[in-house]
Structure 1
Amino acid sequence: MQKKIHFAKMHGLGNDFVVINATHQAFDLTSLSIVGLADRHTGIGFDQLLIIQPSDRANYFCRIFNADGSEAEQCGNGLRCVARFLHETGFSSSSLQLETKAGIFPIAIKDYDHIRVTMGVPHIQNNLVELPIKNTTQPLHASVLSLGNPHAIIKVESVDTVRTDQLGAEISTHVFFPQGANVGFMQIVNQNHIRLRTFERGVGETLACGSNACAAICAGIVNGWLGDQVKVEFRHGDLWIEWDREKQLIHMTGPAAYVFSGEFLL
């Protein structure tokens, strides 16, 4: 007998998700066709699938799966959407902690356009390392860092002209990144404003990426390009990233949008 699984479709600045609360509807995760559900023509369509589960260390645990079925350690935009989902459905207050494979993330909801996530302490692994890339006349230099998931940040003159799909795919699967990487192409407008395009491993180019925005700001600060409070401009809106120098924590504030809810048969 087929089982109905309830879900919510949500997005953070166009980075879209299917959210499933597994704390009150049991199902076998191995029977879930993640790639099929992610298909935008024959499924629901999403960049990531977010599954809410119980946690012994925080309010809830969130498992994160990319559109290709691979599992991610964390997702900044996704955390904001899960926080709104739990708050809006009465499962949490406006202050909560979400656990992922990358650790525990404190979240505060001012309103659904201003959800603040403490993303932790970024770890710089290599700064401005040269990456050999095919069919490029100039060498590419990337800041390589981790916020629980891997990132490569590349400074560009304009995000409008960069070959995001081609370069992103090659860099994301470069031998330098044995587990893949989320690739950010950063255009600096001024010390408090950047534009960003992101190629996410396991997905492709997405309309926004919260953890990549944090990684870009961290790279910009380390290189002396940016201040401690920066607006990150995506195609469908902005994130605000703040660097706490004393505690070395990075904070992200932005919206979470509800699109629709529904159910599918499993």
Structure 2
Amino acid sequence: MSITFCEKTFHTYIETLSNKTKNSFYLTHSLLLKISIGEIKIRIEEGQWQTLTTSNICFLPKGGSIEIIRSDKYDSLAVDVIPITSEMLKCFYQQHSSLFLNKTKSKSVNNICYTELQQNPIIENVFYSATKELLLLSNNNVINIHLSFILSFFLFVDGFIPALHASMNISVKDKVYDLIFYGAGKHCCTLDTVAKKLHMSASTLKRRLSSEYTSFSKISLMSRMNKAMMLSKADNMPMTRIAHEVGYDDVSYFLLAFKSFHAQPAATFPLFK
């Protein structure tokens, strides 16, 4: 999954927030998140709600569903995010490997990991330096140094190490998500088709996904709805075509699913072009 897609669609998700709970947004890459204006409440996979303000930087692990509520105390909301690849996290892990020797992996990751800028104000400067380097497509070594510095402040934050473990490697659910996202039409969204592409039986795939605390139907829906969001922003594409691209024959049913998942008013998108 494109790291740019994850960053852009996350911003789209943020821009449509109100003070009501929204449905899940699936993170295909880990993110560092900084609120620059406003305040939000956020949780992962039905975990505890955490309030984030401009005084926090938050680490969100990949492969999880997040929900965000925008605070009604502020008129506007703006966030900055830095997507982090698995390779970047592996590099960080190797640099601090001695700290992880006696740490066990958690079965699930649903804690919000964040650090207070008031205690470590230098992190904010490094965060914005990293965002500039990413915009300039600078040397990866420079970006890695910035990210490693920021992440080092999370090492003793509760839940960070299991979140790091969960984000370093490509899981089966990552592969399923990508195959459905990059496919087109209903046949690309079936359990049997995806299992065959992964060279395993349908029952084995279901069992593997269950071991990762998810299901094929859940990952399929997230992948199709995230793709629909991206397509809805591209060249004013009509919803009839988007529905077909993400595997829905019934356009009305697709519109209901899309509105429910992203809380987007269907009237803002054309049915026909």
TM-score by length of 1: 0.26
Structure showing the higher helix proportion among its residues: 2
Structure showing the higher strand proportion among its residues: 1
TM-score by length of 2: 0.26
Choose between structure 1 and 2 for higher RCO, CA contacts under 8 A separated by at least 6 residues: 1
